[in-house]
Amino acid sequence: MTFQDATGSQNNLGRYRPPLFVWLPASLVALLVLLPPVYLGVRTFTAYEAAWDLLANTRTLAIVGRSLLLVILVTAVSAVLGVSLAWLTVRTDLPLRRVFAVATALPLVIPSYVFALLVVVALGPRGMLQGWLEPLGVDRLPEIFGLPGAVLSLSLLSYPYVLLPVRAALHGVDPAMEEAARGLGRGAMATFATVTLPLIRPAVVAGGLLAALYTLSDFGAVSLLRYQTFTWAIFIQYQTAFDRTAAAGLSLTLVGLALSLVVLESRTRGRAVHYRVTPGMVRRRIPISLGRWRWPALLYVATVCGVALLAPLGILLFWVVRGVSAGEPLALLWSNTLSSVTVSLGAAALAALAGMPIAVLVVRFPSQVASALSRLTFVGFALPGVAVALAFVFFATAVLPIVYQTALLLLLAYLVLFLPASVGAIESSLRQLSPRLEEAARGLGRTPAQAFRSVTAPLLMRGILAGAALVFLLVMKELPATLILSPLGFQTLATSVWGAASEAFFARAAMPALMLVLTASVPMAFLVTREGR
């Protein structure tokens, strides 16, 4: 076991140039992620005066402030929920923890516009909850619109971004470290605070960054819950004035905002490097006994699952039943499900492929260029899907019309949108692996490529799968890029939900929404049941 600081020479490979199989794919990906900002630049600077007027507007500044407030609150709540739920479901003897391990991750797959719609229906001033409380004399519920509703919805939708990497990190932590602390007389809480938390801190911060950027880019929830953010303002430009210039100017500003968050993340992640040389776990971990906290902990986890997952599913099911009893045909939408799964799988595999070289570059060959590249990958994640999609429309029709409206272009757009989810998971797995392993393989005469394939890649499995699963889920619910870039006639579950819900046909929207969540739970269950091995 090694435990040392990055200020020491942690990496003997650092003096080598990155091999071709790392830098070539990494540069291709870099070109791809640069497309949206370049497009936005082109659009903005063709009429920069108008864009500048809009930006200098005091109202715009207020909107930036509101966005940041929302981002801070959502990230904080997500971190608390994500870390506590991960710890409870990985480390303790919580009852039904396998079930909860899957269930707590699933809210991620609910599209934000669906979740927000359900929040309004359930918790609106005269919503379902008010209806149940009416006999008790509750005439009106407190206002859900604005900041409270937006924080509630986005926190419940984005805590899985923290939960998933923290789960993986908790599994990767060598139990010997915590046992040593316990052996030295620390209590369970003190051990968690002084040993476990520092070890999982990079995962918490990386997950928090994804939650923050997701919040920044969300339009569905904030528009329905009427909290005016930056992305909302961007959409308004597209929607009201068909004004691509103003929208592009605002989007570029959003890129700047996102990059500052990314830099902030790398500053707060901490410099310490922790890894073990022994790849596998030496022996099984003994779950921490919750003792008398067992039932309160169960209540807590069940409440989160209830509010974030069961309640939305319940309302959707209620809509389906009401629709069917009113004569609505029960369509199971197998072909849409198949389409969703197909593109999501393809995008997940592509993101794993593209994520590996970038993660290797960043972790094993650290340099200015490498860290700039890894920061750039976050741009697409923070931008509204429309802006990324229009960038692809612009470049594809002008430069490579043959790929326009093909699945290839769609997968590439998904890659730009969701790459950080994959890179982040692979990166944190790689940071837990000692470079000594690859050095040993090199010492035994393997080429860098062989060493990566035979030693590193198999040990990175957990990270690669976790990243791929996350991308799969994100693509399942992606809407704006799917609508704009998909091949003609291509329909996914997400597009069906949107098509029906936007016209107030809730019964018809409920079925694809349910199928979306159910389909997505399959890879999630696979991931969770495998991750401990």
Partner 1 sequence: MHLNDLARLLRLRRALFAHPLLLIGIVLLSLSAVGCGADDDALVVYSGRSETLVQPVMDQFEDLTGIEVKVKYGATAELAATLLEEGDGTPADVFFAQDPGGLGAVEGMLSPLPAELIGGVPGWARSPSGLWVGVSGRARVLVYNPDRLSPTELPDDIWDLTDPKWKGRLGWAPTNGSFLTMVTGMRMLWGEEKTRGWIEGIVANDPRTYPKNTPQVQAVADGEIDIGMPNHYYLYRFLAEHGEDFSARNYHTPAGGPGALVMVAGAGVLRESDNKEAAERFIDFLLSAVAQQYFAGQTFEYPLVEGVKTNRLLTPLDEINQPTIPLASLSDLSGTTDLLRSAGALP
Q: Which residues does 163 contact at the CB level (< 8 Å), separation at least 6?
A: 81, 82, 85, 86, 104, 105, 207
Asked if 244 touches partner 1 (CB under 8 A), the answer is yes
Distance between CA atoms of residues 358 and 369, nearest Å: 11
Shortest approach of partner 1 to residue 223 CB, angstroms? 4
Q: How many residues bind partner 1 (CB under 8 A)?
A: 81
Q: Does 194 bind partner 1 (CB under 8 A)?
A: no
Q: How far is the CB of 71 from partner 1 (least distance, A)?
A: 18
Q: Which of 138, 241, 277, 317 binds partner 1 (CB under 8 A)?
A: 241
Show contacts with partner 1 in window 262-321 (CB under 8 A).
Answer: none
CA distance 436 to 344: 35
Name the helix (H) or strand (E) containing 148.
Answer: helix 147-172
Minimum distance from CB of 107 to partner 1 (Å)? 22
Binding window for partner 1 (CB under 8 A); candidates: 200-208, 368-376, 404-412, 516-524: 404-412
Quickly tell me which residue has 């994640």 as its tokens: 381
The span from the CA of 201 to the CA of 124, in Å, is 37
Residue selected from 7, 17, 135, 242 as contacting partner 1 according to rule CB under 8 A: 242
Which range in 29-37, 193-201, 341-349, 519-527 contacts partner 1 by CB under 8 A? 341-349
Considering only residues 134-163, where is the footprint of partner 1 by CB under 8 A?
Answer: 145
User: Tokens 């996914």 belong to which residue?
Assistant: 492
Q: Which residues ranging from 437 to 456 are in contact with partner 1 (CB under 8 A)?
A: 453-454
Q: Is 133 in the site for partner 1 (CB under 8 A)?
A: no
Give yes or no for residue 507 binding partner 1 (CB under 8 A): yes
Q: Which stretch binds partner 1 (CB under 8 A): 68-76, 80-88, 228-236, 285-293?
A: 228-236
Gap between the Cα atoms of 11 and 320, Å rounded = 57
Question: Does residue 505 bind partner 1 (CB under 8 A)?
Answer: yes
The structure tokens listed for 283 are: 């022996």
Closest approach of Cβ 226 to partner 1, in Å? Answer: 6
Per CB under 8 A, does 228 bind partner 1?
A: yes
Orientation angle between helical segments 368-382 and 334-364, nearest 10 degrees: 160
Options 67-75, 118-126, 192-200, 358-366: segment touching partner 1 (CB under 8 A): 118-126
Task: Tell me which stretch binds partner 1 (CB under 8 A): 12-20, 59-67, 151-159, 253-261.
Answer: 59-67
Q: How far apart are CA 368 and CA 527, in angstroms?
A: 34
Q: Which is nearer to partner 1, 375 or 453 (CB)?
A: 453
Based on the shown chain and the rule CB under 8 A, indicate whether residue 499 belongs to the binding site for partner 1. yes
Buried b (16+ CB within 10 A) or exposed e, 294-308: eeebbebbeebbebb
Residues 6 or more apart whose Cβ sits within 8 Å of residue 254: 216, 217, 230, 231, 234, 382, 383, 384
Compute the distance between CA of residue 431 and CA of residue 417 in angstroms, rounded to an integer: 24
Question: At CA 284, angle to CA 280 and CA 289, rounded to 5?
Answer: 140
**Shortest separation between residue 478's beta carbon and partner 1, angstroms:** 14
Q: How far is the CB of 112 from partner 1 (least distance, A)?
A: 13
Q: Using the rule CB under 8 A, is 185 a contact of partner 1?
A: no
397 belongs to the binding site for partner 1 (CB under 8 A): yes
Instruction: Summarize the chain as % helix, strand, coil (round to 5).
Output: 80, 0, 20
Give the residue, chosen from 194, 342, 447, 529, that forms a contact with partner 1 under the rule CB under 8 A. Answer: 342
The tokens for 243 are: 């004004």
Interface pick for partner 1 out of 10, 314, 406, 446 (rule CB under 8 A): 406
